[in-house]
Amino acid sequence: MEEELKPLILIVDRHLNTLTWLDSLLSREGCRVTTCSSSVEALKAVAAQRLDLVIAGSVGPDRLGTVLVSKIKALSPETSVLLLLDSNDPSIVTEAIDAGADGLLRRSYSESQVVQRVERLLHVVQG
């Protein structure tokens, strides 16, 4: 597959292990991946290029990531956002969906769960 035809995914998380693991996994699946560790960097990346998907984990003071999701959707409504959650609290799930998250994964995810969710979201984007 030509490089520019591969989906472009941004992963944002303050934990280097999460960034490295997801980058490796999704690169093996044939995606172009870029990473950053803060919501400020993520918003710059969203503004600078067309991304197919943003995977947002722990990014700092916005412990739920919902503020980042809202800002991504304001900058680029067509970009899908997968939010990684640390909680099973139904109110947090509702808050994430209200913020515009296109998908949610709890932190206890497996490789296959990540791949399935990413494929589903990319299929929607690529239509």
Count up the domains in the chain and report the number.
1
pLDDT in tens, the chain (127 residues): 566 679 999 999 999 999 999 999 999 999 999 999 999 999 999 999 999 999 998 776 666 688 899 999 999 999 999 999 887 788 888 888 999 999 999 878 899 999 999 999 998 765 5
Q: How far apart are CA 97 and CA 110, in angstroms?
A: 22
Taking Cα atoms as reference points, which of 118, 121, 98, 10 lies closest to residue 57?
Answer: 10
CB atoms within 10 A of CB 127: 4
Question: What's the domain range around 51?
Answer: 3-126
Helix axis angle, 66-75 relative to 39-48, nearest 10°?
Answer: 20
pTM value? 0.91
CATH number at residue 101: 3.40.50.2300
- Encoded amino acid at 73, one letter: K
Q: How far apart are CA 57 and CA 9, in angstroms?
A: 13
CB atoms within 10 A of CB 55: 26
